[in-house]
Amino acid sequence: MTDIDKEKYRELIANLLKGHELQKRRNSASNEEYFAKMKEFGIDLSEEKIIADYDRIRDARKLDDSYYEEFGHILDDEQKEEWLNSDATILLIDRIVPLHFNIEDTGDPFFIDGVIGSLYEDDLKKADQKDIEKVFRALITFSHTRDHHTLADVMGMYDIRSNLKEMIRVCHDRNPSFRALIKELYACYEDADPHLFPSVYKEYLKEKK
C-alpha cells in the first residue's frame, strides 16, 4: 500500500468514525434538546406543533418535506452543529407521532413500513396476529383516504404483495372477523393476489357480482 493509499484509508476510517459518532449523538439527543437547539436558529418547532401539523396532513413524508422547504436549508447550511441537520425532523416525527396516532386510523405508509420492518426484524413467525392485523387495517385506511387501489404503488421499501402473503400465512386464527378483514383488502386493492386467501377471494367475487 502506497503512502497515498494509506492516507486515503486513514481518511476513510476517520470519516466513518465521525459519521458513527454523529449518528450516536443524534439518536441520544432528547426531543427537548432538538427543539431548544433549533430555537437558537430561529426555528419554532415543538411536539405540539408536530402533532397539530401531522393531524392535518396525516402523512409523515409530506410533513417532513414541508418542514424541509420551510427551514431545512438552515439546518443543513447555516448552522455549525454537525449533529443537527434536516434529518432531525423525520426523526422527531417518528418519535412523536406514534405516541398520539394509530396507523390503522392514518394509513400512513411511512409508519406501515416501520411496523412491517419491526415484524420481520423480530421474527414474523412469532408475531402477535393483532399486530399483523393492524397493518391490514392501515392498508385499508390508506386505500380509502387516498383513493388508491393498487398495492404495487403503496410501499417504497417492501414488496407489499409478497409481505401480505407471508403475514397471512402466519395468522392462525382464521375466524370470521379475520376473513372479513382480508375480504376488505380484496375490495380495496385490485391487484391483491387471489392466492392470499383463496376461499375468501371466492367469497369476495361472489358478493361482488
Percentage of the chain with pLDDT > 90?
Answer: 66
pLDDT tens digits along 132-187 = 999 999 999 999 999 999 887 776 556 787 889 899 999 999 999 999 999 999 99
Quick check: 86 and 75 in contact, CB under 8 A?
Answer: yes
CA distance 128 to 135: 12
pLDDT value, residue 208: 80
Nearest to 116, CA basis, from 79, 72, 166, 76? 166
Q: How far is CA 162 from CA 89, 124, 138, in A?
A: 31, 13, 17
Query: Beta-carbon neighbour count of residue 143 at 10 Å?
Result: 20
Domain extent listing, the chain: 3-99, 103-208
Any idea what DSSP says for residue 75?
I
pLDDT tens digits along 7-25 = 776 777 766 777 677 778 8
Task: Identify the band that residue 5 occupies on the pLDDT scale cut at 50, 70 and 90.
Answer: low
Quick check: 200 and 182 in contact, CB under 8 A?
Answer: yes
Instruction: Give the CA dihedral 185, 157, 82, 73, nearest 10 degrees.
Output: -70
Cell 432531525 belongs to residue: 88
Quick check: 107 and 141 in contact, CB under 8 A?
Answer: yes
pLDDT value, residue 45: 97
Indicate yes or no: pTM above 0.75: yes
pLDDT value, residue 158: 62
Whether residue 96 has pLDDT greater than 60: yes
Average pLDDT, the chain: 89
CA distance 38 to 31: 11
pLDDT tens digits along 41-57 = 999 999 999 999 999 99
Any idea what DSSP says for residue 197?
S
Nearest to 187, CA basis, from 162, 207, 168? 207
Whether residue 108 has pLDDT greater than 70: yes
Nearest to 142, CA basis, from 122, 118, 112? 112
